[in-house]
Amino acid sequence: MERASAIDPEIAEVNMILSLINHHIAIMGFGPDTQSAMETAYVLARRVAQLDDRNEYAHWALGISCWGLFKYEESLATLERAVALNPNCSLADGSLGTLLGILGRSEEAIANQETAIRANPLDPSIFFRRSTFALGH
């Protein structure tokens, strides 16, 4: 991935994958400097959203990358944009629900998770939806 990015740093998908890799390194504690990984995830995700403003997954990646930096207002705006671009994107809807739960907006959080589950009941990451139910209650 990094080689592809070095060849052409304007490839949105490559930047998105690198952002998600760094995001997961940070949240799962797989690196010695998780803060740096979170910041890298955010910078890459912002680039992706600028390169491909009509891609719901670009906005989803940016939205979740904001969490570790406590940029909740930006996260809310970009996750809402992701859902507006594709109301059937369960990742975006579910992540928006998670953020709403973090923000204490429990009823909205639960409703978003229910929508995400209906959109993709076989999602392997459905446990995130269920954990937000717990958070909301």
Q: Delineate the domains of the chain, giving CATH numbers in brackets.
A: 1-82 (1.25.40.10), 87-137 (no CATH)
pLDDT exceeds cutoff 80 at 105: yes
Mean pLDDT of 130-135: 91
Q: Within 10 Å of residue 20's Cβ, how many Cβ atoms?
A: 19
Using the structure block, give the residue that is written with the tokens 């953020």: 99
116, containing H or E segment: helix 106-119
Place of tokens 């923000």: 103
Residue 4 in this model has a pLDDT that exceeds 80: no
* Rounded-to-integer distance, Cα 13 and Cα 68, Å: 22
The helix/strand/coil state of 72 is helix
Q: How many other C-beta atoms are found inside a 10 Å radius of the C-beta of residue 19?
A: 25
Q: What confidence category does residue 50 fall into, taking pLDDT thresholds of 50, 70 and 90?
A: very high
